A and B are shown apart, each in its own frame.
Chain A
Amino acid sequence: MPGLAKLRSFFRNLFSVRRVEKDLDDEVQSHLAMLVEENLRAGMSPEEAQRAARLELGGVEQVKEQVRIERAGTWLQSVFSDCRYAARQFRKNPAFTAVVVFTLALGIGATTAMFSVVYGVLLRPLPYPRPDRIVSVFELTTKGKPSHVADPNFDDFRDQSRSFLSIAKYVSDTASISGTSQPARATVARVSPQFLSVFAVHPIVGRDFIADDAKKGAEQTALVSDDFWKQYLNSPQDLSQIHLKMNGAPFAVIGVLPPGFHFPADADLWLAADTDGENTSRTSHNYSAVARLRDGVTLEQANLDISAIARRIHDAAVDQNDYLLKDGMVVPLQSSLTGSARPALLVLLGAVAFLLLVACANVANLLLAQASVRVRELAIRTSLGAARGRLVRQFLTEAFLLSLLGGSLGVLGACLGVKGLLALAPANLPRLESISINLPVLVFAFLLATAVAVGLGVFVAVRATSGDPREGLAEGGRGQAGSQGSQRVGRAIVAAQMAITLVLVVGAGLFGRSLLKVLEVNPGFRVEKVVAMDVSLPWIDDPKQRASQGIFFSQLIDRLKQQPWIKNVGAVSTLPMDGGLPDGMFALLNEREVPKTLDGFEAVFQQKERLGIADFCVASEGYFQILGIPLIRGRIFDSRDTAESQHVAVISESLARERWPGEDPIGHTIEFGNMDGDIRLLTIVGIVGDVHQDTLDSPAPPIVYVDLFQRPRPAITVAMRSDADTRLVATSARDILRDLNPEIPARFRTFSQIYAASLGSRKFNVILIAFFASTALLLATAGVFGVMAYSVSRRTPEIGIRTALGAGASDVLRMILGQGLRTVLIGVAAGIAGALVLTRTVESFLFGVAPTDPFTFAAVTLLLIFAALLACYIPARRAARVDPLIALRHE
């Protein structure tokens, strides 16, 4: 094995230096001795024999050195000596080294922290076997948007497609679980029996679903998460002893899933969906669908497959309307989960890359300045025979050591940074739990440090070793002429730095102004001093049986109102900014026109002129008062409205304006029974102000409010206005709820928390970009300062001569400032051009400002010029104070 022999000698040469050297010495000495003996035998005198032998050998040390050069691993030893040399350089300039390492640590650390988020959310494979084979299946609406799937459509996808090993549907919701150590609100997913096989996951205790679990009339069965099993059930091996109720209905736990499995997000229980008794409508999009691709089937093939089935359904469907699917689509599960977060994360990654560039520019300038001080040293090494390659390697070694040091420090910083990022991250950022500093992130950091080292090292080395060594020696490390070139490069770097920084700061400005504009939006409601209690009662199918729920909530609200510390109590299906309301089509219909048959209703919903679209919100009278939603005309719900009296509705202002233009909607009746299964007509009795129900930056939707006590629903949010401490409110409200029904858990939040969370991603983006931009600004200012100060110190003799010849302090000041300003202005101009192009890519994140917002551009330009002038001013003033006598004595 010749290769192995070489490797062995490589290590021997490196690690057994003494033995190898001794061996070599012995060999050469013995050779010499033999030569002497030979000469003696030939009849020479001892002295002559010695002399002739030495002559033939040509010097013991020289021979040994020749051998050493040929040895395996010589290059590595020279790398070591380069490193030792570099370390000596660093020790000689501790301040320089510290600044460089810290700047690199900042750049590499910030980039690594940001990359760890991008990696965790977008790149890290999902934690299931062969995750790339798992796909989401969507219907496409008439507008081409992906939507959930309707039950019969899912059945067709499942039965007709040939692309999937397995396909399953799921929908998740929160439910009250009792029978546990304490009543719990849990995220419950209703799934079809094939669900686990899509993920190739198996229960660690008990069994998976079988087809019979989904049959009508079968005992309700559920799987639980490992966390739930441990926390609420005390991890029993015998699952048959567990007796749980979900929303009041008993179910059996048949299996426990492996730790960490929580799909869909946060799910703790998986219920076998009742696939027999399902909805027959092709336009009720109730489920999401996932599937595992059959081996050998590509995403494109699966897409063609699903698309063909979807279009067949579309063409054959009887109830053709806007809600019917137009097409179908298959997307990798990972991108469907994280697609919404992708653009923002990529923008942030781009921003941090800019910061890294600015940091590198600073370091490049520092290294260049350092190299120009070393002109003499380089010249000496060159004249002593060092090849240019060897000097370039010396610079590369130094750059590599510096970035490795900076990178390690940066990774340490990134560990802290990631914690900070996780604390800041908006709750709706998917896959938060998979963000960490892990091996791939470390590899990234290492590669990044290497790339930075190569870039910086080559750049500085080429600049520093290109000169003629004779000049370097002649200049004596002091001269001005030779460094003119490197100063030009330094200024070019500073200009580039300014340009990049300007782009970043403009970006930060635009994001920040958008946030301010969003905050200026009048939400249409008050946020302060409201505590929200989420309560959900057992589900009741028949609308007529739901009266009990209304009675329960009415009791709950009355009891809460009696508390002295609660000023007012209201209830609503979903608070604004808390996930949105369901929307649907309603029809204008009066008492005489009400159809007698289902077909009749379908006919009504074909008449476009009767239809309208609105969000459907269930609320109580107190809701409007607590949130301060103004009554514009008519009345809101009151004690006149009972379960038996005529059902009433209150509508939002924009709905009134758009659906009844130039008309008074009060007194009109509408049919909106498709939202809650109650087909009784609703009489419009009032108009209230618009509310930004979904987000502040999307328009306020049209809303139809119905009375909670006429149209009860099992899950509501009770809103309580109180000046008292939130915890006190929560504790006593929970006591009252327990008193009414001990099996119902509640969740408490303040409305302010909900409201703040809705701004979470916008704030996250602003904070990060502002941090990157301000750091870049700081670095760039330091860069300007560094280059100017260096230039002034180099030009001291020249300035001395100028002063001696009669230039005043103000002339010198103007000259230096002018020189600095020219550089800065070039950079700023380039930056503005770059920003005009680049800000267009973030247009979708902006609100109320154009990507070319002149105010932002002007303010940022002024800010940068001001900062740069400040950075120039200090060295310029030092230059103006140069004493010509002292400066010239330098010569």
Chain B
Amino acid sequence: MSSEPTNLLQGTLDLLILKSLVAGEMHGLAISRRIHQITGETFDVKPGSLFPALHRMEEEGWISSLWGDSENNRRAKYYRLTKAGQKQLHVETTRWGRISGAISQALQAS
């Protein structure tokens, strides 16, 4: 729990979840840890934000879930990317590229 800029931009969390699920299906804790890892330990997603996002995204049809056994033989709910989710990932990635580009450009302007 090093740095904690908790106020993720709207939609950024979705993007990060989708991105981490590209690696394969995983449960909530694994997703949280994966985001921590792939963002260079910048983001730490709390369950209070993670689960609502997961459930919302499942209702949108971007991810699907199933119950399975964890590495320690514990029952856990696993999430996986759907076709619509892959499409959404592409959309969000493009959008994010546009936003971050625009912001950097704005910050570089003198």
Question: Contact between B74 and A30 (Cβ–Cβ < 8 Å)?
Answer: yes
For residue A33, CB closer than 8 A to chain B, the reply is yes
Question: Mask for A1-22, Cβ within 8 A of B = 1, else 0?
Answer: 1111110011000000000000
Q: How far is the CB of A453 from chain B (nearest CB, A)?
A: 31
Interface size class of B (residues with CB under 8 A): 20 to 34
Which B residues from 44 to 81 make CB contacts under 8 A with A? 46-49, 51-53, 55-56, 58-62, 67, 70, 72, 74-77
For residue A822, CB closer than 8 A to chain B, the reply is no
For residue A470, CB closer than 8 A to chain B, the reply is no
Q: How far is the CB of B50 from chain A (nearest CB, A)?
A: 9
Question: Contact between A56 and B47 (Cβ–Cβ < 8 Å)?
Answer: yes
How would you classify the secondary structure of chain B's contact residues: helix, strand, loop or mixed?
helix
For residue A70, CB closer than 8 A to chain B, the reply is yes
Question: Mask for A59-98, Cβ within 8 A of B = 1, else 0?
Answer: 1001100110111100000000000000000000000000
Contact of B28 among A9, A27, A56 (CB under 8 A): A27
Question: Mask for B16-37, Cβ within 8 A of A = 1, else 0?
Answer: 0000000000011100000000
Question: Contact between B51 and A67 (Cβ–Cβ < 8 Å)?
Answer: yes
Question: Contact between A5 and B59 (Cβ–Cβ < 8 Å)?
Answer: yes
A56-B47, A66-B52 in contact; A33/B59 too (CB < 8 A)? no
For residue B84, CB closer than 8 A to chain A, the reply is yes
Question: Contact between A31 and B29 (Cβ–Cβ < 8 Å)?
Answer: yes
B49 contacts which chain A residues (CB < 8 A)? Answer: 66
Question: Contact between A5 and B60 (Cβ–Cβ < 8 Å)?
Answer: yes
Question: Contact between A2 and B60 (Cβ–Cβ < 8 Å)?
Answer: yes
Question: Contact between A70 and B56 (Cβ–Cβ < 8 Å)?
Answer: yes
A26 contacts which chain B residues (CB < 8 A)? Answer: 67, 75, 77
Question: Contact between B29 and A38 (Cβ–Cβ < 8 Å)?
Answer: yes
Interface size class of A (residues with CB under 8 A): 20 to 34
- Most B-side CB within 10 Å, residue of A1, A26, A27, A62: A27
Question: Contact between B61 and A6 (Cβ–Cβ < 8 Å)?
Answer: yes
Question: Contact between A57 and B47 (Cβ–Cβ < 8 Å)?
Answer: yes
A59 to B47, CA, bound (A): 9
Question: Contact between A30 and B75 (Cβ–Cβ < 8 Å)?
Answer: yes
Contact of A31 among B47, B53, B67, B84 (CB under 8 A): B47
For residue A874, CB closer than 8 A to chain B, the reply is no
Contact of A58 among B48, B55, B62, B76 (CB under 8 A): B48
A27 to B61, CA, bound (A): 19
Question: Contact between A71 and B47 (Cβ–Cβ < 8 Å)?
Answer: no
For residue A28, CB closer than 8 A to chain B, the reply is yes
Contact of A28 among B47, B53, B56, B72 (CB under 8 A): B47
A28 to B48, CA, bound (A): 10
Question: Contact between A67 and B61 (Cβ–Cβ < 8 Å)?
Answer: no
Which residue of chain A has its CB nearest to the CB of B87? A2
A26-B77, A27-B77, A34-B76 in contact; A66/B59 too (CB < 8 A)? no
A57 contacts which chain B residues (CB < 8 A)? Answer: 46-48
A31-B47, A66-B51, A67-B51 in contact; A5/B74 too (CB < 8 A)? no
A34 to B29, CA, bound (A): 8
Contact of B70 among A10, A34, A35, A56 (CB under 8 A): A34
A853 contacts which chain B residues (CB < 8 A)? Answer: none
B27 contacts which chain A residues (CB < 8 A)? Answer: 30-31, 34
A621 contacts which chain B residues (CB < 8 A)? Answer: none
Question: Contact between A63 and B75 (Cβ–Cβ < 8 Å)?
Answer: no
A63 to B52, CA, bound (A): 8
For residue A37, CB closer than 8 A to chain B, the reply is yes
A62 contacts which chain B residues (CB < 8 A)? Answer: 48
Question: Contact between B76 and A71 (Cβ–Cβ < 8 Å)?
Answer: no
Question: Contact between B77 and A69 (Cβ–Cβ < 8 Å)?
Answer: no
B48 contacts which chain A residues (CB < 8 A)? Answer: 57-59, 62-63, 66
Question: Contact between A9 and B58 (Cβ–Cβ < 8 Å)?
Answer: yes
A37 to B75, CA, bound (A): 13
A2 contacts which chain B residues (CB < 8 A)? Answer: 60-62, 84
A38 to B84, CA, bound (A): 33
Contact of B52 among A4, A30, A69 (CB under 8 A): A69
A35-B29, A58-B46 in contact; A27/B60 too (CB < 8 A)? no
A72 contacts which chain B residues (CB < 8 A)? Answer: 59
Q: How far is the CB of B4 from chain A (nearest CB, A)?
A: 12
A62 to B49, CA, bound (A): 11
A1 to B87, CA, bound (A): 12
B84 contacts which chain A residues (CB < 8 A)? Answer: 2
Which residue of chain A has its CB nearest to the CB of B76? A30
A23 contacts which chain B residues (CB < 8 A)? Answer: 77
Q: How far is the CB of B90 from chain A (nearest CB, A)?
A: 14
Which residue of chain A has its CB nearest to the CB of B72? A37
Question: Contact between B51 and A28 (Cβ–Cβ < 8 Å)?
Answer: yes
A35-B29, A58-B48, A63-B48 in contact; A70/B60 too (CB < 8 A)? no
A58-B47, A58-B48, A66-B48 in contact; A34/B60 too (CB < 8 A)? no
A302 to B55, CA, bound (A): 63
Question: Contact between B72 and A67 (Cβ–Cβ < 8 Å)?
Answer: no
A5 to B55, CA, bound (A): 12
Instruction: Please list 27 pairs of residues, one from A and one from B, whose beta carbons are closer than 8 Å in the complex, sorted by A's number.
Output: A2-B60, A5-B60, A5-B61, A9-B58, A9-B59, A10-B59, A26-B67, A26-B77, A27-B51, A27-B77, A28-B47, A28-B51, A30-B70, A31-B28, A33-B74, A34-B27, A34-B72, A34-B74, A35-B29, A38-B29, A58-B48, A66-B48, A66-B49, A66-B51, A70-B55, A71-B55, A71-B56
Q: Which 3 A-B pairs have the closest CB atoms?
A: A5-B61, A2-B61, A70-B52
Given contacts A2-B61, A6-B59, A31-B27, 6 further A-B contacts (CB under 8 A): A10-B59, A24-B51, A30-B76, A33-B74, A67-B55, A70-B55
